[in-house]
Amino acid sequence: MDVQIFGIQKSADTRKALRFFKERRVKVHFVDLQVRAASKGELTRFVQKFGVESVLDRDSKRFQELGLAAAHYSEEAWLDKLADEPLLLRMPLARFGKALTVGLAEEEWKGWVGR
């Protein structure tokens, strides 16, 4: 089974995740969010497991540019916003079967690859 990683090439954490799996010879399907945004359904999986606040990167440059610090959206509205603005996501988002992680999670990834 492949590991699916959502992120952008500019993200240091995304590059670390890609390197982690490459070093362990695990096949990775990389989705560059600047080329193709994650679907709302895909984002819903992460939000259901971790919550909007865990998936949302309030420290991101894009979050500041859009002036969202005072925004109080519903979970559904945040999902729409995240689907339209992938740079608001905490990266990388990783999926292995039904297992999901947000951000760097090397300890959990080691369990995925058995090393």
Q: How many Å apart are CA 60 and CA 89, to the nearest integer?
A: 8
Predicted confidence (pLDDT) per residue in 66-114, tens digit: 999 888 898 999 999 999 999 999 999 999 999 999 999 999 999 998 8
CATH number at residue 66: 3.40.30.10
Integer CA distances (angstroms), 94 to 18, 35, 38, 65, 88, in order: 10, 17, 12, 26, 16
Q: What is the number of structural domains in the chain?
A: 1
Q: For residues 90 and 13, what is the distance between their CA atoms, to the nearest angstrom?
A: 9
Q: Is the pTM of this model over 0.75?
A: yes
